[in-house]
Structure 1
């Protein structure tokens, strides 16, 4: 995965529309399906919990399928990019201890993965206006640059590939 420049306003606008549209579709599908099931299979006790639950599950599946089909639509470009970036950062986070230990020992691959992680995190936090921990990120980035200089490694976030994590 390569980091891309994303227009923050466009991303936020599209994300909000996708979120609101998904929520409205989920509510409509859930209620509609549940009402159809209740009409077809009424319960004498008046408890329709299982039909309501089935409506929510079916609605969630329909919304998920719809989002999956729309994934490649140009409107979804920024939203899908950020979603995939978050997935990659989560994969890296699960291996962070091993990566940091390997980087301290001079492992160039671990340093490249951490460089991607820090650059991706900075981009993600700026897109989401989550700048509270940027100072901490800057400290980690400086430590990584010093470590890379010590071991003669040139850092490039663009060199990251998901297969690099397989060793850790």
Structure 2
């Protein structure tokens, strides 16, 4: 995955539209499905919890299917990009201790993974206005830069690919 610039305003607008749309569809479809099931399969007791729950589950599955089907639509481009970036960063953070240890030993792939993680995190935090930890990230980036210079490496986050995480 390559890091690409994202228009923050467009991303926020589209993300909000997707969230609101999903919430409205979930509410309406859940009620409609539950009412249909209750009408088709009446129950002598007053509790229709299982039909309501099934309505929510079926509606959530339909929303998931719809989002997957339209994931390549231009409207969802920024939202899908950020979602995939978060998945990649999560894979790195699950192995962070091993990666950091390998980077201290001079492993180029570990340093590239950290470089990608720092650049991706910086982009995400700027998109979400989460600037509280940017100073901490700058310190880690400076430490990584010193380590790369010490080992004579030039780190470009574009050189990172997910297969580099396999040894960790």
TM-score, L = length of structure 1: 0.99
Counterpart in the other structure of 1:86: 86
Alignment partners' CA distance in 1, 2:160 and 2:15: 26
Counterpart in the other structure of 1:122: 122
Matches within 5 A, 1:31-110: 31-110=31-110
Shift of 1:147: 0.5
Alignment partners' CA distance in 1, 2:53 and 2:44: 18
Once the two structures are superposed, residues 93-143 of structure 1 have per-residue CA deviations (whole angstroms, 9 ceiling, x without a partner) of: 000000000000000110001000000000000001111100000000000
Alignment partners' CA distance in 1, 2:161 and 2:148: 19
Where structure 2 has 5 or more consecutive residues not aligned to the other structure, the ranges are none
SS class of match (2:166)? helix
Once the two structures are superposed, residues 6-41 of structure 1 have per-residue CA deviations (whole angstroms, 9 ceiling, x without a partner) of: 000000000000110011111111110000001111
Alignment partners' CA distance in 1, 2:134 and 2:43: 56
Aligned length: 168
Where structure 1 has 5 or more consecutive residues not aligned to the other structure, the ranges are none
Alignment partners' CA distance in 2, 1:135 and 1:163: 29
Counterpart in the other structure of 1:113: 113
TM-score, L = length of structure 2: 0.99
Alignment partners' CA distance in 2, 1:15 and 1:9: 10
Pairwise CA RMSD: 0.5
Runs (4+) of structure 1 moved beyond 3 Å?
none
